Amino acid sequence: MKITVIGAGNVGATAALRIAEKQLAREVVLIDIVEGIPQGKALDMYESGPVALFDTRVSGSNDYRDSADSDIILITAGLARKPGMSREDLLQKNATIIKEVTSQVMQYSKNPILIMVSNPLDVMTYVARQVSGLPEERVIGMAGVLDTARFRSFIAEELQVSMQDINAFVLGGHGDSMVPVVKYTNVAGIPITELMSMDKINAIVERTKNGGIEIVNHLKTGSAFYAPAASAVEMIESIVKDRKRILPCTTCLKGQFGIQNVFCGAPVKLGRKGVEQILEINLSEDELKALQQSAAIVEQNCRNLDALLLG
């Protein structure tokens, strides 16, 4: 198993280290355009192996040739959000970057699974699919896992219970239109509505939608990276180990939830082949409407980029 991480910033470097520590690959390659950064970070990670007890070979490069024959490629390259900037503000700039990155990696790997972390995530997943020409089940966006982790952590904080006992789904686009699904949220099987007032639930839903910008506002000069990296690695682990985890990920919907040919967050089964099944769960009328509205925003942003992709 060879995994390449594109982008040696905070998300990419943190993800590469987690992959190595979990020994999910025999080889991890960290690629970045800035000379010396991926080499230095990769060497530092590799030298932690005797202490952290892993044997994964970690290397850094500025040359996409070193990504050759990767089984999984994690794409974290692109500009990060700044205070006052929405994910959509990043649209054109990051689309240009992702188009170039995808073109490069596909020259050297025939049939990898691409996992997208760069924002706006759903649209960048679409860009990678269009440029790569890979089957749709092999191009996946990391969004719902992160948004759901935030939702679960806020519930655990409020109820003072273990995060491990909280089950939830956050669906839809990775942005202000995301849809935390209250109907399927429970604590050790107990519906969240039996443990918390709707006012409190709605407040946590709103905090979840703004979870990313809350961190951006604290950091001032950066954005979240620990939770995004952990979320991407959870997806990678399910694929590498063929665990067939049911996780909310960005995938191309083909009529599910009344959404056609749009990359949007939905519950999927993740295994060695990528997205092996999309689970069309029963949503309330309001949740279904919100999910469809979220998908419509993603679709419009994708249409806005079609000229760029054809150029």
Q: Catalogue the active-site residues.
A: 174
* 245 marked among binding-site residues: no
Beta bridge partners of 270: 245, 275
* 7 marked among binding-site residues: yes
* 311 marked among binding-site residues: no
Cβ atoms of 103 and 133 within 8 Å: the answer is no
* 18 marked among binding-site residues: no
* 109 marked among binding-site residues: no
Angle of the 211-219 helix axis to the 198-209 helix axis, nearest 10: 60
* 271 marked among binding-site residues: no
* 176 marked among binding-site residues: no
* 8 marked among binding-site residues: yes
Distance between CA atoms of residues 220 and 213, nearest Å:
10
* 9 marked among binding-site residues: yes
Distance between CA atoms of residues 285 and 198, nearest Å:
17
* 173 marked among binding-site residues: no
* 32 marked among binding-site residues: yes
* 89 marked among binding-site residues: no
Binding residues for substrate: 81, 87, 119, 150
Binding residues for NAD(+): 7-12, 32, 94, 117-119
Binding residues: 7-12, 32, 81, 87, 94, 117-119, 150
